[in-house]
């Protein structure tokens, strides 16, 4: 089914670190949004031909690349991970939005009192960002085993799944609560507005 081309469609994170500020940005831009109930996955702008689609952040690059949504608000971390996996990007960054700042970092148990990236060689590293981590390691000529997890990556060292992790850090509270400390920066990110670069057929 192709979307109604008389309206624009913007993909937003349903819940999570970008959700509230993405919606606030659209309101501050003057859009009157029909209040979507908690379980509604769409909302309409009442004074502009725009529909909002609330989805998982990881799905936003796909929707925008395919042109199902002409626009999206998503973290650069999610976009870059997607682009590396797809070997190309079919979206353009329109603007950096100045919120949702976070950083993809390698972290180690805080009992480790010395770190050098060369120490990653031959180690297992758990992450939800295998492509970004793979690039980081390749650029440094390091060969390590990447263990891909969908979430709860911070548990991996305690469970003995991996010695190191590579995960998003914002306040650092999650790392701290799990006895981990950041040791290297992989990718800095903030929320961006993206538009599809796929030609839109009428």
Q: Can you tell me which of 4, 7, 15, 16 binds ligand PRP, judged by CB under 6 A?
A: 16
**Contact letters (x/-) for ligand PRP, 39-58, by CB under 6 A?**
------------------x-
Residue 174 contacts ligand PRP per CB under 6 A: yes
Residue 126 contacts ligand PRP per CB under 6 A: no
- Alpha-carbon distance of 175 to 160, in angstroms, equals 16
Q: Which residue has the tokens 């650092």?
A: 172
Q: Can you tell me which of 25, 55, 57, 137 binds Zn ion, judged by CB under 5 A?
A: 57
**HEC string for 46-65:** CCCCEEEEEECHHHHHHHHH
Least distance CB 145 / ligand PRP (angstroms): 20
Residue 167 contacts ligand PRP per CB under 6 A: yes
Q: Are strands 8-13 and 71-75 parallel, antiparallel or unpaired?
A: parallel
- Alpha-carbon distance of 4 to 86, in angstroms, equals 27
Instruction: Kindly report the backbone phi and psi dihedral angles of residue 81, in degrees, each rounded to the nearest multiple of 5, phi listed first.
Output: -60, -45
Q: Which stretch binds Zn ion (CB under 5 A): 3-11, 36-44, 50-58, 183-191?
A: 50-58
Residue 103 contacts ligand PRP per CB under 6 A: no
Residue 170 contacts ligand PRP per CB under 6 A: yes
Q: Residue 167: which of Zn ion, ligand PRP, none does it interact with, CB under 5 to 8 A by kind? A: ligand PRP
Residue 70 contacts Zn ion per CB under 5 A: no
3-state secondary structure at position 69: coil
Using CA atoms, how far residue 55 sits from 16, 69, 87, 100, in Å, is 11, 11, 23, 17
Residue 80 contacts Zn ion per CB under 5 A: no
Binding site for Zn ion (CB under 5 A): 57
């Amino acid at each position: 089914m192709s979307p109604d081309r008389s309206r624009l469609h913007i993909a937003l994170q349903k819940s999570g670190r970008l959700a509230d500020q993405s919606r606030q940005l659209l309101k501050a831009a003057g859009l009157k949004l029909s209040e979507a109930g908690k379980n509604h996955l769409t909302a309409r702008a009442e004074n502009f031909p725009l529909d909002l689609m609330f989805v998982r952040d990881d799905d936003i690059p796909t929707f925008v690349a395919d042109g199902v949504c002409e626009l999206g608000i998503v973290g650069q971390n999610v976009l870059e991970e997607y682009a590396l996996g797809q070997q190309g990007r079919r979206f353009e960054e329109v603007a950096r939005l100045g919120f949702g700042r976070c950083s993809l970092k390698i972290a180690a148990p805080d009992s480790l009192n010395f770190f050098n990236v060369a120490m990653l060689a031959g180690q297992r590293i758990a992450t939800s960002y295998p492509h970004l981590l793979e690039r980081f390691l390749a650029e440094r000529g390091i060969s390590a085993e990447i263990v891909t997890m969908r979430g709860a990556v911070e548990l991996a060292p305690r469970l003995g799944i991996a010695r190191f992790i590579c995960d998003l850090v914002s306040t650092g509270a999650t790392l701290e609560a799990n006895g981990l400390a950041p040791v290297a920066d992989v990718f800095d990110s903030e929320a961006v507005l993206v538009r599809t670069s796929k030609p839109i057929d009428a």
